[in-house]
Amino acid sequence: MTDSEVGLSQLLRHTVVDGQGKALGRLADVIVRLRGDDYPLLTALVVRVGSETVFVPIADVEALEPDRIELASARLDVRAFERRPGEVLLNADVLGHRLIDVDLASLVRAHDVYLTRLVHAHDVYLSPTPGVWVVTGLNVHQSHWWSSRRDKGNHPVRDWRSFEALIGHQPSVLVRTSFGKLRRLKAAQMADIIETADAKEQDELLAQVHADPEFEADVFEELEEDSLSQLLKSRSTTDVASVLSRMRADDAADAITDLPQERRREVLSLLPEPHRTKVLTLLGYHNATAGGLMGVEYLALSENATIRDALEVIRTSTTEQPEALTTIYTLDSEKRLTGAISIIRALQADADLTLREIVDPEPVHAAPEDDIIDVTTRMADFNLLTLPVLDEDGHILGIITVDDALEAALPEDWRRREAQAHSSQPPLTDED
């Protein structure tokens, strides 16, 4: 429960007065303390008195209202204000600055910050102390003078916890939860945000992503070619090799291609041997062909193995690319492709059947020199989630997954499209 809510932009327009109504100065800023997933706690005001700024503890504030800021005493600490480690100034650090809208996975700008005074402790505010002021909301849309307080031009105030604020703000890094709300983002969403961030914002985002090496690799796989190339150029050879060693071999090969020749050799020498072999194999194909699109992770078993055997291999293949496990391929004694079956069909079949008894004996396939149009057309015609790429003797060189085929077929600037807004609210009716 609350008894007062006020926007920071309203407060900044008012003079600070004492209990007798005498002007003491003008509000310059509001200091809050971050508390992880809890709402930030208001701890003090910064008041400008003449040419100086002074610190006023929140305990000395009698009233904090849209039309009045009153102190309990006319006595002020005249020592100049100095920021303490980890303190956040809402005006200087948040208002007008960019932050991440985690719900919509985009960078936005804070046009107002809303403070709420609690009457009773309530789980929604995660605060055990009634009477305190906390930051509860943000307005990230430009408002106009005719907009209402709670609906800025048909854009309601949003919950503070829907955002990751203070990106690129070094003084508060140590008091923020590691990775914070960004854990809710998928790798592709984080990649999009990094690509639209400025250099300072990118540095912090990459530092946070780096805390989770597997997620970091997933993010780098989702970056556009130009962005990935620029980011890798700014990293040490050891760091580049560390990231690429966790990326899928096909994505790592694409990334290495954009490195200068000398550095390319250095990075390759630092990759683990099995991964380096896969990458070197893929570097031998043009990236606009089936060979350049394929990945070298796939599931292939003897045609004499049972359905039960295949499903157990899938169950334990926790480090493999999931998209590569949607199809089971069978091989003869010479390791040549003899059949294919989808994982769904396998799950529906008698587990004691051998793969030879149930697979499609003539699976659709591609040659490494086939172009992108041939590949995508074939996958669309036969509704394939994966397409094996074979050498002249019928051995599997790799497979193309539908996500890679789709990305290759889309226009190069498809990621730069304007995001379409999706609302969870039902459309308004005439009765509304």
What's the pLDDT score for residue 127? 47
Q: What are phi and psi of 75, to 5 degrees?
A: -85, 125
Question: pLDDT-based confidence at 234, cuts 50/70/90?
Answer: confident
Q: In the chain, what are the domains?
A: 2-173 (2.30.30.240), 185-284 (1.25.60.10), 299-409 (3.10.580.10)
- The region of weakest confidence among 113-122, 165-174, 403-412 is 165-174
**151 neighbors 27 (Cβ within 8 angstroms):** no
Helix H, strand E, coil C: the string for 131-168 is CCEEEEEEECCCCCCCCCCCECCCCECEEHHHEECCCC
Taking the model in full, what pTM does it have? Answer: 0.72
Residue 13, CA atoms < 13 Å, CB-side half-sphere? 9
Distance, in Å, from the CA atom of 231 to the CA atom of 324, rounded to the nearest integer, reads 28
Residue type, 154: N
Per residue in 357-394, pLDDT (tens digit) is 999 999 999 999 999 999 999 999 999 999 999 999 99
Q: How far apart are CA 288 and CA 410, in angstroms?
A: 13
Contact 174, 86 (CB under 8 A): yes
Query: Predicted confidence band at 200 (pLDDT cuts at 50, 70, 90)?
Result: confident
At 426 the pLDDT is 46
- DSSP secondary structure string, 21-90? --EEEEEEEEEEEEETTEEEEEEEEEEEETTEEEEEEGGGEEEEETTEEEES-S----SBP-PPTT-EEI
d(CA 203, CA 221): 18
pLDDT tens digits, 278-329? 999 999 999 889 999 999 999 999 999 999 999 999 999 988 888 899 999 9
Q: For residues 248, 252, 253 and 256, what is the CA-based torsion angle, rounded to 10 degrees?
A: 180
pLDDT tens, residue by residue, 55-105 = 888 888 888 888 889 998 877 776 666 777 778 899 998 998 888 999 899
pLDDT score, position 164 = 84
User: What is the DSSP-derived secondary structure letter of residue 183?
Assistant: G
